[in-house]
Amino acid sequence: MSPSLKQTGSYRGRFAPSPSGPLHFGSLVAALSSYLDAKVNQGKWLVRIEDIDTPRVVAGAADNILTTLEAYGLYWDEDVVYQSQRHALYQAYLTTLKSDSLMYACQCTRKQIKAMGGFYNNHCRALALSWQDNALRLQQRCPVTEFNDAIQGMVVIPPAIAHEDYIVKRRDGLFAYQLVVVVDDIEQKISHIVRGADLLEPTARQISLFRQLNQPSPEYAHVPLAVAEPGFKLSKQNHAPAIDNHNPLPTLYAALRYLHVPVDSLHNYQDVDALLTHAIDIFSLDSVPKVQEIQLDSLENGDFAFRPLFSSTSI
């Protein structure tokens, strides 16, 4: 990270949870790492609620997430953005892509794509199908086969994924994640993204879309996922337990240790503010384990046992 970012305050990071349930330990690790990196670099830390996938939204989850962040001392610097309130913005970008002849309708089902070998082979690109009741795909003009990650190093993307035309608007009419996340990052002028390693593969598509829109892409850093067992990440879909809002200090301490932040004994910190203040003074992405997964064998009272897994950065 260049000294100029620290001097100008142009660093803009973000945490973008989906409101499909309460925050769990893995969510806290992602939020905390992005927050610390922004603060270390004297930048802004934003929160975006990614509620574009309305069937997965749980009533009250967004408010619960914001309450949890506050309980852990993770305060955002600008108004919270909700994707569900930005449909006109996303449609404007789609209109631009359409006018540039970069989109087409696709009728292929998941079953058909599975028969293609699991990757879409751009079958519908030349069919001139109706845009009604079909998914819309973006022609991949800027494939990304590798990129450098601040934690994981050089990440190599299989050609079948890198060259795949991907969906930007779903058959059900909902805007696709790959489109809206890039639009939001452009509009919010996000310069650095620190998030979980489960998003390494989508990052390649997002970088390609930044390029197709003639926009600079952010710098990326992907922290290792907290998993219950290899390949089984802690997630809302897997019913990971919610973190404790009433006694946040031990869990915050555990998350810092997970990130290899050299904190003192838990008893040396009176509250989350004191712990975070100390963490900001000493945090560095360089110390984060350069693995894609860390298995938690236990997590209790700020202490945990873990085993790092999957150090390879090939997808």
The per-residue b/e assignment along 123-160, b for 16 or more CB within 10 angstroms, e otherwise, is ebbeeeeeeeebbbbbbbeebbeebebbbbeebebeee
Tell the burial category of 198 from Cβ atoms under 10 Å away from its Cβ (0-12, 13-18, 19+). middle
Residue 258 is assigned to a ligand binding site: no
- pLDDT given for residue 241 in this prediction: 76
Cα gap 57→53, rounded to integer Å:
7
Q: Is residue 66 very low, low, confident or very high in pLDDT (cuts 50, 70, 90)?
A: very high
Residue 17 is assigned to a ligand binding site: yes
Residue 78 is assigned to a ligand binding site: no
What average pLDDT does range 189-217 have in this prediction?
96
Quick one: DSSP state of residue 243? P
Q: Is residue 117 very low, low, confident or very high in pLDDT (cuts 50, 70, 90)?
A: confident
Residue 166 is assigned to a ligand binding site: no
Angle 169-177-133 from CA coordinates, rounded to 5°: 20
Tell me if residue 254 falls in helix, strand or coil.
helix
Instruction: Give the chain's domains with CATH numbers.
Output: 3-84+188-309 (3.40.50.620), 87-179 (3.40.50.620)
Residue 15 is assigned to a ligand binding site: yes
- pLDDT given for residue 233 in this prediction: 57
Residue 255 is assigned to a ligand binding site: no
Q: Is the pLDDT of residue 311 over 50?
A: no
Strand order of the sheet with strand 81-82?
12-15, 44-49, 81-82
Cα gap 266→270, rounded to integer Å:
9
Residue 119 is assigned to a ligand binding site: no
Q: How far is CA 40 from CA 48, 116, 146, in A?
A: 20, 46, 28
Q: Is the pLDDT of residue 145 over 90?
A: yes
Residue 236 is assigned to a ligand binding site: yes
Residue 98 is assigned to a ligand binding site: no
- pLDDT given for residue 227 in this prediction: 79
Give the mean pLDDT of the chain: 88
The pair phi, psi for residue 87, each rounded to 5°, is -60, -40
Residue 120 is assigned to a ligand binding site: yes
What average pLDDT does range 220-241 have in this prediction?
70
- pLDDT given for residue 283 in this prediction: 97
Taking the whole predicted model, whether its pTM rises above 0.75 is answered as yes
Residue 14 is assigned to a ligand binding site: yes
Cα gap 46→59, rounded to integer Å:
22
